[in-house]
Structure 1
Amino acid sequence: MRIMIVGAGSLGLLFGAKLFTVCDHITVVTKTREQAEALRMQGISLDGDKVISTNSNEHNIRFQSYDESVKEDKHPDFLFVMVKQPAIRDEFISYLKDSMSAGTIVVCFQNGIGHEEKLISAVGSDKLLLAVTTEAARKEGLTKVDHTGHGITYLGSLTRKGGPPQASQILLQDLLKTAGIEAEVSNEMEVRIWSKLIMNAVINPLTAILRVRNGELLESPWAMSLMRELYDEAMLVAGAKGIELPDNLWKTLLHVCKATAQNHSSMLQDLMQAKGTEIDSMNGSLLRIAKELKLELAVHQTVYCVVKALE
């Protein structure tokens, strides 16, 4: 089995370290040559242990940067897209298409909504799987990652909502399980995607604005009040779109916040590192849909503006 992981952030490094032991060959594509060179020299450290060491004959993993040639690896079985949504532009999509062979399946791990339509148009719905993961990881450096929370990865197609799982879905599910990553094929990917979108749109901007860890939101009645208002507004949009979400999603959101209590959200990490955030693909997406539906999301509009100002 040949895997190509495009994006060497926290999840990219985590999945690369886990899958290394069960794949014939893995290519990890980084944003910068600096990180690619560091990984070539040092390997990957997971939870403080050197999982991939450059001192042994581990030739089944290759590190390269986004601007390096991929001619040798144009036949991955699965191509994991693990960059943040704003990176999925026309140039990036061309890069993906150049990296694929006729049998390659693209697996998209992005938060938010909107990117899947671009990728379906580019590679075709039969070549695209969507993934929603609750695995939590924190990147500690160019080559180090901590697995901060175990979760589950749901796999499925947005266009195929019934019938038995496809062979590629079962194959990938089994591969992830063998690597120690809990995985499940789902026929309800729209529900999975919207559920995670709403949880991210509630937790991420508030932790970013307040500069707190996820669990600290639960310690303040004022923060909890804002969380509930953001949640109710998001559910209003989902309902207007005809998307039926679980009745216990609010409880699930609080559980996720508690389970990742010590984590800095990705949006907070981006601001701390003076990077752009995913606010446009999270709260921004909800605001765009709400505008089309002639709905007002006053709290989402406020937190959106504050995060954009902080950017």
Structure 2
Amino acid sequence: MAFLLYNSGYMNKGGYCMHIMIIGAGSLGLLFAAQLAPNCSQLTLVTRSEGQARELAEHGIQLVGTESLETKLAKSIVFQSYSEEISGSMAPVAREVDYIFLMVKQTAISPELITYIQSKMTRHTYLICFQNGVGHEVKLSQAIGWDKLLFAITTEGAKRIGPTSVKQTGHGITYLGELEPKNLAVTNHQQIFIVQLLELAGFRAELSKNMEVRIWTKLVINAVINPLTAILRVQNGELLRSAWALSLMQELYQEVLRLAAAKGIELPIDLWDTVQAVCEATKTNHSSMLQDIEASRHTEIDYLNGSLVKMGNELGLDLPANSMVYRMIKAIEN
């Protein structure tokens, strides 16, 4: 898998002098890049393919609205495969990276990508992880160190229309914080700074002192909704229209509640209502897992229901419904 660079030299309007790198040019990557770039002295967007990087260099990022299309054009654009950058065949970036927003799926966090991230890290660089599910925190903490890691959970809605176009489908909130409560190296000042930067870019953002619960809440929502939409090949809202689908959702949900309790994680008491509300609010959406299945791509099932089943096995706790949907998705992938 090749990642290439789309680099924007926007001059900073908010008084900030920094270099932000966003790795991943999917829907959220494009949206955040377009919104954040005007407030950075430099922003670099790392894309999956050379073709996408070249199209971005030519057209910029188009924000598709209901009544207008706003184009965020870059003043300077550089693209190169990250493997070539590591080998030293590419000229170094103008300034050190201050913050890296990791906005790829868990399936993309390969040893090669981790090596690339390490090559961009300095003692002043912080990595902010936007992944769904669990498992990435272990790999990245081993490679980067807890003192350089922040985690983000976002409910921003975005749909990529094409290689350079994205539509914001819903305004949400982004929670930011540490996962290790004893980590004192990442100062509260750094977290406040990122929250303020996101708010300046037009996003709603908040600090969270309980990111583990936030991550598990998002994990539950994705584990209950996504695999069923992929297996049944339906939009999210269709799950609420079938008593059979609702009963499957409830089984998946109750199993995760038992697992969370066994691990000492106290989930919100109204989480089931939240699951249904998300399903209704995104009723016309095709889940990311369904899109992956339709495009014959590997899904994130290993980091959602697969991780839940693995944790259950470690605790001697059987999760038959989660095991069933996990095995069905793996069979469909094959």
CA offset digits 1:218-241 (Å, max 9, x no partner): 111111111111100111111111
1:63–1:26 CA distance, 2 compared to 1 (3 A): farther
Asked whether 1:90 is paired with 2:106, we answer no
Amino acid at match of 1:103: H
Deviates most, 183-192 or 97-106: 97-106
**1:18-75 per-position Cα deviation (integer Å, ceiling 9, x unaligned):** 112222111000111111111111111122523313xxxx326655544452721561
Is this contact kept in 1: 2:107–2:300, CA < 8 A?
yes
TM-score by length of 1: 0.94
Indicate whether 1:265 and 2:281 are aligned: no
Is the CA contact 2:83–2:116 (under 8 Å) kept in the aligned structure 1? no
**What is the rounded CA distance, in whole Å, between the counterparts of 1:212 and 1:148 in structure 2?**
19
Q: Which amino acid aligns with 1:245?
A: L
Q: Residue in 2 aligned with 1:217?
A: 239
Which whole-Å CA distance do the structure 2 matches of 1:12 and 1:289 have between them?
30
Please, which runs of 5 or more residues in structure 2 have no aligned partner? 1-17
Aligned 8 A contact 1:132 1:153 in 2? yes
For 2:182 and 2:123, locate their aligned partners in 1 and report how far apart those are by CA, in whole Å. 24
Separation (CA, whole Å) in 2 of partners of 1:136 and 1:34: 25
SS at match of 1:271: helix
1:52 aligns with 2:72: yes
Q: What CA distance in whole angstroms lies between the structure 2 residues aligned with 1:73 and 1:159?
A: 33
> 1:105 corresponds to which residue?
126
Whether the 8 Å CA contact 1:10–1:145 is kept in 2: the answer is yes
CA–CA distance in structure 2, aligned partners of residues 280 and 40 of structure 1: 35
- Paired residue total: 307
Equivalent of residue 236 in structure 1, options 240, 255, 258: 258
Contact 1:28/1:63 (<8 A) preserved: no
| 1:267 maps to amino acid | M
Q: How does 1:1-311 map to 2 (within 5 A)?
A: 1-48=18-65, 49-53=69-73, 58-59=74-75, 64-69=80-85, 71-72=92-93, 75-160=96-181, 166-311=188-333
Deviations 1:230-269 (A, max 9, x none): 1001111111111011101111111111111121111011
Give 1:89 shift: 2.3
CA offsets 1:167-190 (integer angstroms, 9 cap, x no match): 110000000001011111100000
**Structure 1: which 4+ aligned runs deviate by more than 6 Å?**
161-165
- In structure 1, what is the Cα distance between the partners aligned to 2:197 and 2:173? 14
Secondary structure, in 3 states, of the residue corresponding to 1:97?
helix
What RMSD, in angstroms, separates the aligned Cα atoms of the two structures?
1.8
Query: Alpha carbons of 1:44 and 1:24: their partners in 2 closer, same or farther (altered >3 Å)?
Result: same
Separation (CA, whole Å) in 2 of partners of 1:64 and 1:139: 22
Partner SS for 2:253: helix
Is the alpha carbon distance of 1:73 and 1:215 closer, same or farther for their aligned partners in structure 2, counting shifts above 3 Å? Answer: farther
TM-score by length of 2: 0.88
Distance 1:101 1:241, change over 3 A: same
Structure 1 spans left out of the alignment, 5+ residues: none
SS at match of 1:72: coil
